[in-house]
């Protein structure tokens, strides 16, 4: 199986941009339908409030889960380090 990592820009931090989300999700779903193992890699930028950040991440993870991508979500911090892998151990080093 071919593993594909897509790296959308500013989807997580722009939840009100529904069309912006679909620009990338259509690729993820299409690639998955073709038999690829698709991962979504996105940089998360804090808004400065830990509570608001948790709420934003929770909403985003729920949205991704609805499309079957919750287990293939990779979040990178501002220093380009992966801070969360929704399915630990699933990506090779």
C-alpha separations of 89 from 29, 84, 85, 93 in Å: 22, 11, 8, 9
27-80 pLDDT, tens digit each: 999 999 999 999 999 888 888 888 988 898 999 999 999 999 988 999 887 655
Cα 16 versus chain centre, distance: 16
Read off the pTM.
0.78
81-93 pLDDT, tens digit each: 555 555 544 444 4
Residue 72, pLDDT score: 92
Residue 65, pLDDT score: 93
Residue 47, pLDDT score: 83
């Amino acid at each position: 199986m071919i593993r594909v990592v897509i790296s959308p820009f500013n989807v997580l931090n722009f939840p009100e941009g529904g069309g912006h989300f679909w620009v990338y999700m259509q690729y993820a779903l299409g690639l998955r339908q073709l038999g690829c193992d698709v991962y979504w890699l996105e940089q998360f930028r804090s808004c400065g409030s830990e509570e608001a950040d948790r709420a934003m991440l929770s909403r985003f993870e729920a949205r991704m889960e609805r499309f079957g991508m919750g287990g293939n979500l990779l979040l990178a911090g501002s220093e380009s380090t992966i801070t969360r892998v929704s399915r630990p151990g699933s990506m090779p080093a």
